Structures are given as C-alpha cells and as structure tokens.
Structure 1
C-alpha cells in the first residue's frame, strides 16, 4: 500500500479523488480496500456514496476487512457497513457473515441493541 496512499481521498470531502479512484485498475484498488472502508464510517460524508460504489464491486475481496470491522467495538461503523454495504452484496458474499449476523440477531449486546444491529442482522439473514 505504501506507494498508493496518495491515491486515497485526503478527507471526507475529497469527492474528486473518489472519482479518480473509480478509473484505477482493479489490482490497485484491491490494495486500497481496507483504507477505503474507513470512508464509510459515516455514510453522510460526501465521499461515502462513491466509496460504497467502489467497495460493492469487490464483494469477495472485502469480506476479511468487513469481518474485522464487525469484530471491532465500533457499533456505529458496523451499522453503516451492514445497512449500506453488506445488505447490497451478492447472496454468496452476504453468506460469509452468517455467523456474525446470527449471533447479533439472537444474542445482541446492549450496545448492539442500542444501534439496532439486531434488526439489520435479522433483515440480512432473511435474504440468505
């Protein structure tokens, strides 16, 4: 990733950089996926829609990075990831999150309940 850091948006308002990213070779974009996920910590950010568009074109490649987010303590980020990314992935990719989704749907933590992660988990599980 070292040489590619300059390709990333400089901030949450850098939509021009996101448009440039869309033109890059997929092999370069794959190396940027973990950093691009940071830009969907809040889908109200101007860069988020374009970044989501890019991320959705890598339904299999993003799985390990999304699993990392889902195992973090950032329940708000999880909410955005589930509502705007995971639910939009092909069924085969969504299925990779079944264990997490089942746990949250059946036995959510207090924080997961507060963020209504159990509800989106149930909704995604219904599509599998």
Structure 2
C-alpha cells in the first residue's frame, strides 16, 4: 500500500481527512497533489469542493497536473479542471493554459463539445483578455 494513503481521503465523504490535509505543511502536501487531483474528477462528490479549495493554493504545482488532464481523454474531468481550478488560479498561472484554451475553443473534439469545454475555454480566454 502507498505510504501516502494514510493521508488521502478514503471515500467521497471523508471530510475528516480533507480537514487534516488542510492543516499539513505545504512540503508534506506536495507529493499528495497528483492523488488529490483525482477528487475533482466529479464535483458532485461531497469532498470535491474542499479538495479543490486546497489544490488552488498550489498554483505553480497545479499547472502541470491540470495540463496532464487537459491532454487526456476524460472530458468531464477537463471540464471541472477548467471550471473549478483554472478559473481560480492567479492570472499569470491561467496564462499558462492559453494554447490549450485556444485549442479547446477553436477545435474541440466531439466529446469536448458535448461537455461544453469550447464555451468554458472561450469564457476563460475572454477573462484573460479583459
């Protein structure tokens, strides 16, 4: 079993572990970020918003993790990354996604279009240009 598992939420109702995570030192949380990202795959899970709140406090570390999701095939996860994470990052970090946002806005796949990723990307691009 992964030694980090003792810190990670056990299920979608495990608020106790999320609150403990929020009290940990930043350096202790860094190796947990990729696993915590999985909890924003479905923002209907009860702990998802709490986890997202924690993740956005690591903007620099989140950029490559979000880019990995945007390059993958899970269109719902992409949607939540844009809507819940990217939009809440400071502007200089949101700028890191400009090429991905342009691609999503201009050339979405059929699945991305169904999840309205093109519209969400366009909204973020407009915010960047304001």
Q: Determine if the TM-score, normalized by the shorter chain, exceeds 0.5.
A: yes
Following TM superposition, by how much is the alpha carbon of 1:19 offset from its aligned partner in structure 2, in angstroms? 0.4
Deviations 1:58-116 (A, max 9, x none): 01111111111001100011111111111111001111111110011011111111110
Task: Map residues 58-97 of structure 1 onto 2, 5 A cutoff.
Answer: 58-97=58-97
Paired position in structure 1 for 2:21: 21
Whether 1:99 and 2:99 are equivalent positions in the alignment is yes
Following TM superposition, by how much is the alpha carbon of 1:35 offset from its aligned partner in structure 2, in angstroms? 0.3
Partner SS, residue 83 of structure 1: helix
Paired position in structure 2 for 1:40: 40
Following TM superposition, by how much is the alpha carbon of 1:4 offset from its aligned partner in structure 2, in angstroms? 2.0
Whether 1:3 and 2:3 are equivalent positions in the alignment is yes
Structure 1 residue ranges without an equivalent (≥5): none
Q: C-alpha distance in 1, partners of 2:61/2:116?
A: 27
Alignment length (residue pairs): 127
More helix by share: 2
| TM-score of the aligned structures, taking structure 2 as reference length | 0.94
Following TM superposition, by how much is the alpha carbon of 1:3 offset from its aligned partner in structure 2, in angstroms? 2.8
Q: C-alpha distance in 2, partners of 1:5/1:126?
A: 40
